[in-house]
Amino acid sequence: MKKRIGIIALLLAGVAPLSLAAQSMAGMEAQKKAEQAGHQGIGKVVAVDRTKLSIKLAHEAIKSLGWPGMTMDFRVANASLLDGLKAGDAVRFELMQLNPKEWVIVKIERK
């Protein structure tokens, strides 16, 4: 019995570093994918909601996504992205997809 546990422990010890390595490789792949999936847009600020970390933009067509121009709300990756932005500002921004239904602004600056 004791011997068996020893063997299992040995097996686990051998497997764990491998799965950790696989995990970080997956993480790197995901990061790479996210970087590649950044989409650039331009538009105008309609409204800023700091409490919701959200910004309403009237954006022009985003060809890389096949989106037409429209007015919509976006979440921003962090509050500081909204610093100095107000309704009426012309902006350029970069989007990333969080999940199939949600996009987040990771960069935004006045034009």
Question: Interface mask (CB under 5 A) for Cu ion, residues 23-62, using x and -?
Answer: ----------------------------------------
CA distance 71 to 30: 29
The upper half-sphere exposure of residue 32, i.e. CA atoms within 13 Å in the direction of its Cβ, equals 6
Beta carbon of residue 17, minimum distance to Cu ion (angstroms, whole number): 44
Among the listed ranges 3-11, 19-27, 72-80, 99-107, the one in contact with Cu ion (CB under 5 A) is 72-80
Which position among 16, 21, 34, 70 is part of the footprint of Cu ion (CB under 5 A)?
70
Q: Contact 105/55 with Cβ under 8 angstroms? A: yes
Residue 62, both tokens: 């985003």
Q: Torsion over CA of 58, 62, 68 and 69, rounded to 10 degrees?
A: 20
Confirm or reject binding of residue 72 to Cu ion (CB under 5 A): yes
Tell me how far, at minimum, the Cβ of 43 lies from Cu ion, in Å: 9
Q: Which residues bind Cu ion (CB under 5 A)?
A: 70, 72
